[in-house]
Amino acid sequence: MSAPPLPEIFGNYVLGDFVEVVPPESISWWPQTLGWKILGVVVCALLMYRACRALLHWWHNRYRREALARLQGLTSRSAEGLSVSEVNRLLKLTALVPFAREQVASLSGPEWVEFLNSQCVAAPFNPEQSTLLAAGSYRSELLDPGRGRALLCACQTWVLEHRDPRHA
């Protein structure tokens, strides 16, 4: 058995002449005026510039990260005694990256420590540490752990805070 045929008007007879409302097209999120497009380009250019500067800063400071990692290695060995000549060697290697070889390689003794202290706003090495570093290349003695940690802390301060003349 089949269902009877449906009448031409089915449902509510009042809605017979009802026309469905068509919604408008969705509004685009893309800027409509030239000013917004120019502002968008300028903002993107500034963001790219800042990203490039940050990347260059990170790249140029890789020697600092390497020096800090080596200082961490010396810190872990400082309990058994620390050689001042190792610290001097690490500071000299670190200083050779931002400063000219002619300026750094020939320095030793008090001139070396004076150079290190002059590269920071506040001198990281106190007089005792300055004496140790100045004479450290000529002595093979090991420092006690307390003085060794203090010297390594001052070295870490120098590595982090010295001025890089290449990017002044």
pLDDT given for residue 79 in this prediction = 65
The packing angle between helices 84-95 and 145-161, to 10°, is 0
The packing angle between helices 109-118 and 127-135, to 10°, is 130
Nearest Cα to 95, choosing from 115, 125, 70?
115
Residue corresponding to tokens 């990170």: 58
pLDDT given for residue 143 in this prediction = 81
Residues 87 and 136: their CA atoms lie apart, in Å, by: 9
Instruction: Return the structure tokens found at 45.
Output: 């250019």
pLDDT given for residue 168 in this prediction = 58
pLDDT given for residue 138 in this prediction = 73
pLDDT given for residue 74 in this prediction = 86
Residues 153 and 130: their CA atoms lie apart, in Å, by: 13
pLDDT given for residue 19 in this prediction = 78
Residues 160 and 64: their CA atoms lie apart, in Å, by: 7
pLDDT given for residue 10 in this prediction = 63
- CB of 45 closer than 8 Å to CB of 39: no
pLDDT given for residue 94 in this prediction = 94
Residue 68, C-beta contacts closer than 8 angstroms, at least 6 positions apart: 156, 159, 160
Averaged over successive runs of 10 residues, the pLDDT of the chain (168 residues) comes to 70 71 88 92 98 95 94 79 86 92 90 92 90 80 83 93 80
